[in-house]
Structures are given as C-alpha cells and as structure tokens.
Amino acid sequence: MIEPQILEAIKQMPNIERIRIIEFTLGLMREEMAKNEQLSLKEAAELMRPFYAEGSELSEFVDSEHGDFYEYEDYA
C-alpha cells in the first residue's frame, strides 16, 4: 500500500511533476518487464536443450547432411 504522505504529496504537486513521476515509474516498469522477459527466454532455452541434444528423439528428425537443399532429392 502507498504511504498516505506520498499520496498527499502527489496531490499537492502540479500536473507537470505528476507526469514526470508517471514517466519515471513507467520507465522502471518497462526495464523490469524487459529483464523478466529475457530471463524467461533463457529459462525456456534451458528447458528445451535436452530435446535438441544429440541422440534425443527430436534430433532423429534432423537432416545431418549439410549439402544444399535444392540438390536434396530424398525429401517427401
């Protein structure tokens, strides 16, 4: 909960100062959200790592040939 003194101080401020507080707060929120998003992407990659490990079920479907695809005749 917000301290009553803070709320009262905000009430006493001119609108331009209130806008600066809002902009500052939104900036903090964006930074925090970006950090959390980056962490969740990292965690997702770590969770998926075993599925892409050599010998895993998913890697059975990987074409190990490194030739050009347009010359690849053994498809579908």
74 lies in some domain: no
43 lies in some domain: yes
| Average pLDDT across the chain, whole number | 81
36 lies in some domain: yes
Domain that holds residue 44: 2-63
pTM, whole model, 2 decimals?
0.47
- Could you tell me which residue, 45 or 22, shows the higher pLDDT? 22
Question: What is the pLDDT at residue 11?
Answer: 95
69 lies in some domain: no
7 lies in some domain: yes
With beta carbons less than 8 A apart as the criterion, state whether 59 and 53 touch.
Answer: yes
75 lies in some domain: no
CA-CA-CA-CA torsion for 15, 17, 23, 27, nearest 10 degrees? -160
Question: What is the pLDDT at residue 56?
Answer: 74
Average pLDDT value for residue range 47-74: 70
8 lies in some domain: yes
Q: Give the distance, in angstroms, between the CA of residue 5 and the centroid of all CA atoms in the same chain.
A: 36
Q: What are 24-53's pLDDT values in tens digits?
A: 999 999 998 888 777 788 888 888 888 887
Taking residue 42's Cβ as centre, other Cβ atoms within 10 Å add up to 10
31 lies in some domain: yes
Using the predicted structure, report yes or no on whether residue 73 has a pLDDT greater than 70. no
